[in-house]
Structure 1
């Protein structure tokens, strides 16, 4: 097998990066990040191959820091987490993440290779404006990640929780809704797979979000009330991914050359072919071919 440096397939566009990051969430991430006026750092817990991290990095402003934490195939903190990692993320390596990220950006974020439990010791409290949690799906770990996000976020910061209602991640669902009911987490909106929330006042951002979404024809929208919380539900309707800068490895596709036009036979030739005996026609064709 050849050197991995030569066999690795670099992404040309964001859609080429492996991962689960639908167009609706790409649009919502960008909207929340661009709406925020106060400076603050960015944090992602669980990066996989870097698809969402690449988009987050696009919204990093001067003076802000971006931190990414993932096991990247390293040693998990406990047996259950080790089994989860082996089953779902066996192909994940830090090298693959960094190659993908550097295909779109000039410099890497701060990368923490380890369990998310170490993040509070690496990221100062009250410094982040946006936190994306997409790491372990086990209840105990998600519970801890939510608690860490609360300490790390600015008062009106946004936390995004992935897989909060997938049938294969009940631990995430329990931890997320427990945080809503008992830990003062306040939902802003729900997509098919992510919950967007804050520990600040959700009403101003919800009103702006609703106004924006009502102008779009590619987003289905409904509003419900539950346990004293207004839940803005969104779903994609034939949505295209929002524009995103191409990677430095993008190659413009080359159109296949058109075949030369077939020569048209003159009316006299067509009549001759129709009227002459087949044996004479074949003889004429052989002479012309030679």
Structure 2
């Protein structure tokens, strides 16, 4: 990947050895306060998702149920999504380490987007879980076996890897002309591409296409699955049965809104809001969709799922006895 313009000149790389992440342009004086908020969100996300994983792994009654296996997959995706960006973002905002190597930047971009696509796929699988549970309850146990859930998890990861692997080659082919200062708090596909001094149309169209074909298609399939669920629910004979069926979908619907709303807003704002939306607001939104769903997902399920509430209460009671 090296070229030499003249025998007497120094060897020049097609891409810089490292980038300098500036954090959130225009809000440098507030970086410490923003970092404190992001750090707290990241801490809550870590504790919540690890605790959720602990409950599912240690409670036999939970790990036999497909819904809680999906929750474990969702927790792992949330941990990867938040941990891909949060540690470096905090280091940048606290001015502890603003430099990141080019290869490290590509790796951060890769894992960030892979975890996002994997989480979107898991949310789609969870919608299928609710569809089967409500529309075909007699076949639920036969269709959604633990091995089937594990295979869906592997498909989610493989899908993310296959979609994002080409972006590494698309970014490595670009020439950056020595540009190093990146106006962002972490590395993402279009943020890196815009540092190049050559045409990036292929990167733009690939990023746009993958967004439409992954989270875009996933959200549409989730929407249609809930149309089928609602049709089935309103055919139930009693109002109590309808409310009970819809109650099982409430947590999933909350998580879907938490995940897709900031993500799609950030995506379309970055592509169509340049000049209309301040850059610092775009970067804040990009950070929020990396931290907000991982922080709130465990809380939503712990509050709205009776089995989890009981396990959480029992665990806290045991902790309280040990402390006393």
- Structure exhibiting the larger radius of gyration computed from Cα positions: 1
Q: Considering Cα pairs closer than 8 Å and 6+ residues apart, tell me whether 1 or 2 has the greater RCO.
A: 2
Same fold (TM over 0.5): no
TM-score range, shorter chain: under 0.3
**Structure ranking higher in helix proportion:** 2
Return the structure number with greater strand share: 1
| TM-score of the superposed pair, with normalisation by structure 2 | 0.24
